[in-house]
Structure 1
Amino acid sequence: MFNPSQHDVRRFFCEAYRKHRHHEVLTPIEAIARDWIMQHPEYQDDLGDVEQALAADYSVERGQTNPFLHLSMHLSITEQISIDQPPGIRAAFQMLAQRRGSEHDAHHEIMECLGQMIWNAQRSGVPPDGAAYIENIRRRAQG
């Protein structure tokens, strides 16, 4: 199983952004990352210098959004939707996107659900509950 380090993730996003800026060929996953980077121009300064990105501290105490975590969650949710895993996420996403009028806004709401599922699993010491995750997204889509 692929288990990238924090630095691996940061290098990946910086490299995808660098390739984009230099009009180089992107891998399919880099192209998806680039698309999310383009939807978050506020992160582009963070991605422009790999050494600065590797050294940056996005701890909760500093009160800054971690652009690498945010973009990683977009990638994860994109992959979940593309393969409908956990089952039902594609339909729940489509309902939420329609209700919000924006796929991007729906992604951000799903991020909250994903974060909650991970937090619950870590707190209780049990595997993530995919069914509860999907149900949380569906509730948001219904109102």
Structure 2
Amino acid sequence: MFNPSQADVRRFFCSVYGKARIGAPLEAIETLAARWMDEHPEYAAEWSDLDAALTRMGEADPARTNAFLHLSMHLSISEQCSIDQPRGIRLAVEALAAQHNSLHLAHHAAMECLGRMLWESQRAGRPPDGEAYIACVLQHATHDGHKKSR
């Protein structure tokens, strides 16, 4: 199993950002990361400076979104959907994307569910509950839809 360190993740994203900006050839996962990076220009400064990114590792700032974690979650959800693991996540995210008329917004809502599932798993010391994760995503699709129709 691939288990990159926090520094590895930051190096990967900074490398992809640099390669994409100069039009260098990208591997498939790099292409996917670059597409999500294009959706988040507000984080460009963080991805463009590897030394600063490595220096800031471990710094928690509740007022700022961690650009590297955020992009990692986009990639995780993309991969989960591509292989439909946990089973049903692809349809759940598609339903949410249809509801929001945006895959990007659907990912952001799914991130809340993914983060909650991981936090609850770690807190309880048990494996992640994929069914609860999917139910949460579907609940967002249904709940958000009710808000829109009012």
- The equivalent of 1:30 in structure 2 is 30
Q: Are residues 41 and 61 of structure 1, via their aligned partners in 2, closer, same or farther at CA, if it must alter by over 3 Å?
A: closer
- Percent identity of paired positions between Structure 1 and Structure 2: 53
TM-score normalised by L of structure 2: 0.92
Deviations, residues 32-74 of structure 1 (Å, cap 9, x unaligned): 0000101000011111111111112564445221100000000
CA distance in 2, matches of 1:116, 1:3: 21
Deviations, residues 73-92 of structure 1 (Å, cap 9, x unaligned): 00000000011000000110
Quick check: 1:16 aligned with 2:12? no
Are 1:10 and 1:53, in contact at CA under 8 Å, matched by a contact in 2? yes
Residue type of the alignment partner of 2:80: Q
CA distance in 1, matches of 2:29, 2:93: 20
Structure 1 unmatched runs, 5+? none
- Which residues in structure 2 correspond to 1:72-91 (within 5 Å)? 72-91=72-91
1:23 positional shift = 1.0
Quick check: 1:65 aligned with 2:65? yes
CA distance in 1, matches of 2:115, 2:63: 17
CA distance in 2, matches of 1:55, 1:117: 29
CA distance in 1, matches of 2:21, 2:64: 25
CA distance in 1, matches of 2:67, 2:122: 22
- The equivalent of 1:126 in structure 2 is 126
CA distance in 2, matches of 1:61, 1:24: 33
- Structure 1 residue ranges, 4+ long, deviating more than 3 angstroms after superposition: 57-62
Residue type of the alignment partner of 1:99: Q
Q: Are residues 50 and 60 of structure 1, via their aligned partners in 2, closer, same or farther at CA, if it must alter by over 3 Å?
A: closer
Residue type of the alignment partner of 2:107: H
Q: Root-mean-square deviation (CA), in Å?
A: 1.1
Secondary structure of 1:71's counterpart equals: helix
